[in-house]
Chain A
């Protein structure tokens, strides 16, 4: 693989970094007044990148042709699938932001730039073929994320969120790095392919430590129990557009990366990590569901909901099969739509002065004051609860199906039982909106962009989404095949 071909494979990342730098300069040159323009330019860049990665997914690209820089980087169908989700989520986070920050007088050109760099880092994560690429992508993403969390720097909660995220993130990075160095020490290589070959014979205790430490570091990123503790605080404290971003794009990236590490690099040693993943999956489902009960802040509730959802996604990983990987991707797609829909709806909850309404009690009787918004939020809740005929059910269904096919019937059964607990708090929101006495707190008008994004998400998770199952399923199958090509 020559250098030019490698550059062609990494073109979207090059475009992202170059335009990130250009937009940074543009922002500095034109001042904060241009931040809306910069945001839209960033969205355009993401759209172009999406078109650049789409062909690889459609053709199901895999194998040596997709490997760049001697195994450092992979631009296969799996990476494309994840990147498309990341770009979509990043675009949504960019589009909803201006209206939100402008009201606080805090809209700055740095926001779109930071999002672009975070997206770049995430693109590297899902394309990683080497521990170093992995780490660079992860840290690029994380460093952008820390700043984004504290973006409303005058707001105490936002600053606290940024700080907490940074400190715990640093701890997680340390764990990850330690795992990586152990792995390198016991295998003598940093490429996934090399690690895979080195571990095909057996697993020494040192390498086992490496596996577990690396997975723990990654579990922090995807907010799986017990590495989830930061999530509620950060999701609540961060500005809502940032939370929208956190709940979607980095999840996709971190899950994608974990899949690469677990199924590619450590693919021959699945017995070493499978049980840990099973535990993390079940613990995430249960703790996510239990934690959500009793929350009074809707963002915090959605944070627990995301922990809960990660549990379901990890069930697919625990299956450790191609069907499981495909199911995870389908679930992720639906999850991104549900999360975007949910957080955009939360963004649209504003009182008469335009202040954000976050308390669950304040949306009582929303169905009578804002029927359309209440309907969309109810659809999101039903979908998150996995109630047919909404699309959220399909995601859960494919994941459980994969687990059952992998003979993990107990895991699937416990997961299904625990999802009942989740239904409780999702339905409670619906009940509060539809059956409680109206408190008439939510008034404000919303931007048309918000409505448009909400409409797109709502239609995607509505029963109409089932029209996409075949198409989505075949793309996910291609991506999963590309992931497991080396295996």
Chain B
């Protein structure tokens, strides 16, 4: 069964990708979507089996892969509780995104390619989460990277999309280098790539040995875990290697929902949880994870407050939420991290697909400054987006009911505080402040988009749409231009088709109930995980007994954020501009994403370009080409000229050359 789950998307991708125009749009879309719904239908029983406790963890061998000396690993599919969680997340979101894309990509000329990439991505992601050894995990890891690259650059005629795709690829290579070194090092130390064997041996290695790395002797497990975590940082867009994620929004919105919100970017969290016994043997590495996670969480939330592009706001939000997951893992609450991953997948996919629906309605306008008052025009989208926002901001009443984020985010904050360490407390503080910001930017998005007065007239996209519409209308009825003073520019947004609304509605069910239903399973039941992750009972105990104010903090900051957003964007819309005027430098700093791109541009990109240009101009053109191919061609052309000049046609010169040749030969053998 697990084979069918993993390989159905691959098969569908091959059919759609290789068939392409031959089989046509509908067939390609149908086969990929059907493949994903099949995977999804098969995944849920597995997950429910683990929830009810009836399923057992197991490994299904597929193929022998490498047998070389002591190095050996095979293709195998591992299913345990951790994998089961990922399976339902991936297949559900992917199936819904496939369905959603029927509507969203309706007018695209290249639909088979798009759907093939989506299914290919899903296959790679499934290979990643079912990996039983680090090499197969790396295969999936690179596979999702490739699919991500292809999908970010799906509209390859747009230079910005190509640049974003390359940026995503290159930044991920940095992380991948760390990941690869980590895998090599792990093999060097443990003499195996099998994950269960490594995890079994890891606890005994805690502080047991040192290893030479970059000329220093350092604790073995610390080095290995930090290297592996650097891989996770790249894939999960953590502070320092996060710059690609906002740019990745150049891809079509369904891609953002599937890859850059729900699944691929969580691969790093998954990997840390999968290897949690290893990380537990490296306290320093865990501290590093905590710090990076907390900082990312805070940093991305600040940036999210100032962005105008609706997708970028959600992208920074994703970055920030990933930070939560990492510092949860860092303090040892792997269950909470996975729980947040699980709920986040639903509400973040929901938010992205909802944003896609808005963009679809607004004729590809993504700037929130040109939205407003949309709740009356696209009510279904409005309600599901509200549900998503309630989920991400964590609305709920303790002990009664809450939206998905309420349970998972609170669990993380409590675990951070409950861990009792200084870093845990720091993470708690940063996380709580980020929760305030989360509430603010999420409601800001809702208020700017769905409330207030229409501001559509300023948008070029809308004007184009209106102009085209009027043009047609003029042809048909001979009506003149109507002057619209209400900011709508005469544009009428339409609700999205059902193929788009159904996936959003399904996801909103998850966003509302996923936390309430699975809270106990993920956080409190060691029997559910059953060794799939490191389960710290002591920490769970501590997190349930944190002071009341800690438990109330997330709710309070959420309300504060909501109030500020309401105050700034509903009650007094002039306030943000005044704030920006007063704190110009602070705003510029945050608005420009803390100048990370500029810093990297100065530190790495430009020197790399300079170096590349030197190699190109001097090394390649100046030396290799000049003395290599071009030089050889020059010599040949010259030689050919001489050869023809000598061939004068005169008999005496021919005879002379013969005699000279003879004399030369004689002289040579004489002096030799």
Contact = CB atoms under 8 A, between A and B. Distances in A.
B660 A275 contact: no
B665 A212 contact: yes
Given A164-B651, A294-B640, A205 B662 contact: no
Contact of B658 (A215, A226, A289): A226
Interface in A165-186: 167-168, 171-172, 175
A220 B662 CA distance: 11
A216 B662 CA distance: 7
A230 B662 CA distance: 16
B599 interface: no
B583 interface: no
Contact of B657 (A172, A226, A289, A294): A226
Contact of B649 (A167, A208, A233): A233
Interface string B630-672: 0000001101111110110101011101101110111011101
Contact of B668 (A168, A213, A230, A275): A275
Given A168-B651, A216-B661, A226-B661, A293 B640 contact: yes
B666 A290 contact: no
A466 interface: no
Contacts of A24: none
A364 B660 CA distance: 40
Given A168-B655, A229-B658, A290-B636, A212 B666 contact: yes
B640 A290 contact: yes
Contacts of A275: 668-669, 672
A286 interface: yes
Interface in A191-220: 205, 208-209, 212-213, 215-216, 220
A135 interface: no
A220 B664 CA distance: 15
A290 B655 contact: no
A332 to B, nearest CB: 23
Interface in B601-655: 636-637, 639-644, 646-647, 649, 651, 653-655
Interface string A280-324: 000000110111011000000000000000000000000000000
Contact of A229 (B637, B647, B670): B647
A421 interface: yes
Nearest to A217: B662
B233 to A, nearest CB: 49
A290 B639 contact: yes
Given A164-B654, A172-B658, A226-B661, A272 B669 contact: yes
A276 interface: yes
Contacts of B658: 168, 171-172, 175, 216, 220, 226-227, 229
Given A164-B654, A227-B658, A294-B644, A212 B636 contact: no
B646 to A, nearest CB: 8
Contact of B654 (A168, A216, A279): A168
Contact of A276 (B644, B647, B668): B668
A342 interface: no
Interface in B14-58: none
A227 B643 contact: no
A215 B666 CA distance: 11
B643 A290 contact: yes
Interface residues of B, number: 27
Contacts of B637: 293
B649 A212 contact: no
Nearest to B637: A293
Contacts of A215: 665
A229 B654 contact: yes
A293 B647 contact: no
A287 B643 contact: yes
A319 B611 CA distance: 49
Contact of B665 (A167, A216, A220, A289): A216
A230 B666 contact: no
A202 to B, nearest CB: 14
Contacts of B660: 226
Contacts of B640: 290-291, 293-294
A229 B672 CA distance: 27
B662 A229 contact: no
A232 B672 CA distance: 33
A395 B481 CA distance: 81
Nearest to A417: B632
Given A208-B669, A212-B666, A226-B658, A232 B647 contact: yes
Nearest to A294: B640
Contacts of B646: 229
Contacts of A279: 665, 668
B644 A291 contact: yes
A215 B664 CA distance: 13
Interface in A137-176: 164, 167-168, 171-172, 175
A124 B407 CA distance: 104
Nearest to A160: B649
Contacts of B636: 289-290, 293, 421, 424
Given A216-B661, A220-B658, A226-B658, A291 B651 contact: no
Nearest to B638: A290
Nearest to A227: B658
A398 B669 CA distance: 29
A205 B672 CA distance: 12
A212 B670 CA distance: 10
B18 to A, nearest CB: 28
B669 A276 contact: yes
Given A168-B651, A212-B669, A230-B654, A175 B662 contact: yes
A276 B665 contact: yes
A212 B643 CA distance: 25
Contacts of A286: 639
B648 to A, nearest CB: 9
Contacts of A226: 657-658, 660-661, 664
Nearest to B658: A227
A213 B669 contact: no
A297 to B, nearest CB: 12
A171 B669 contact: no
Contacts of A233: 647, 649
Residue in B640, B644, B668 whose Cβ sees the most chain A Cβ within 10 Å: B640
Contacts of B653: 229
Given A286-B639, A290-B640, A293-B640, A212 B662 contact: yes
Contacts of B668: 275-276, 279
Nearest to A300: B647
Interface in B336-388: none
A216 B655 CA distance: 13
A227 B661 contact: yes
Nearest to B661: A226
Interface of B: 636-637, 639-644, 646-647, 649, 651, 653-655, 657-658, 660-662, 664-666, 668-670, 672
30 contacts: A164-B651, A164-B654, A167-B655, A168-B651, A168-B658, A171-B658, A175-B658, A208-B669, A212-B662, A212-B665, A212-B669, A216-B658, A216-B665, A225-B661, A226-B657, A226-B661, A227-B661, A229-B653, A232-B647, A272-B669, A275-B668, A275-B672, A276-B665, A279-B668, A290-B642, A290-B643, A291-B640, A291-B647, A294-B640, A424-B636
Given A167-B655, A421-B636, 20 more contacts: A164-B654, A167-B651, A168-B655, A168-B658, A171-B655, A208-B670, A216-B661, A226-B658, A226-B660, A226-B661, A227-B658, A229-B654, A229-B658, A233-B649, A276-B665, A290-B640, A291-B640, A291-B643, A291-B644, A293-B636
Shortest Cβ-Cβ A-B pairs, 4 listed = A226-B661, A229-B654, A293-B640, A291-B643
